[in-house]
Amino acid sequence: MNSGGDSSRDYELVVIISPEVSEEDIPATLDKISRFIVERGGSITEVSQWGKRKLAYPIKNFMEGNYVLTHFKMDSRLTADLEASLRLSEEILRHLLVRLND
């Protein structure tokens, strides 16, 4: 860990959005995530929508979901808040946040 200075790290976030969220409403869901990151001093480097995919196993009784990959930079101390926010979101079935190598 680095002591003091910039504690901003590169992250990769994959979210699976519920198939109940319409195609037109997906950008609003992604915007909530982006706002969360940017309002806390982070920056988004890339967002790519992979589209609707079949799940390997049911999640909350769904067999498919919309996958979205986001690359961003954020203070490492704020990731727990981001993950808590994602867990509370009803639109997000599952998420995976990975810190990329420095």
CATH number, domain with residue 81: 3.30.70.60
Sequence letter at residue 35: R
Residue 48 lies in a domain: yes
Return the DSSP state at 20: T
Q: How many structural domains are present in the chain?
A: 1
- Distances from the Cα of 70 to the Cαs of 1, 2, 4, 12, in angstroms? 24, 24, 26, 6
Determine the Cα–Cα distance for residues 27 and 49; give it in Å rounded to an integer.
10
Chain centroid, CA 5 distance in Å: 25
Tokens found for residue 84: 């808590």
Q: How many residues does the chain have?
A: 102
Residue % of the chain over a pLDDT of 90: 91
For residue 2, pLDDT over 50 is answered with no
Q: Which domain holds residue 23?
A: 8-99
The pLDDT assigned to 7 comes to 84
Residue 90 lies in a domain: yes
Torsion angle of alpha carbons 31, 32, 38, 42, nearest 10°? -100
Q: What is the mean pLDDT of residues 69-89?
A: 96
Residue 2 lies in a domain: no
pTM here?
0.90
Residue 1 lies in a domain: no
Residue 17 lies in a domain: yes
Nearest CA-CA partner of 15 in 100, 102, 85, 101: 85
Residue 33 lies in a domain: yes
The continuous run of DSSP H or E covering 27 comes out as helix 26-39
Residue 28 lies in a domain: yes
The pLDDT assigned to 102 comes to 65
Residue 34 lies in a domain: yes
Look at 1 and 75; give whichever has higher pLDDT. Answer: 75
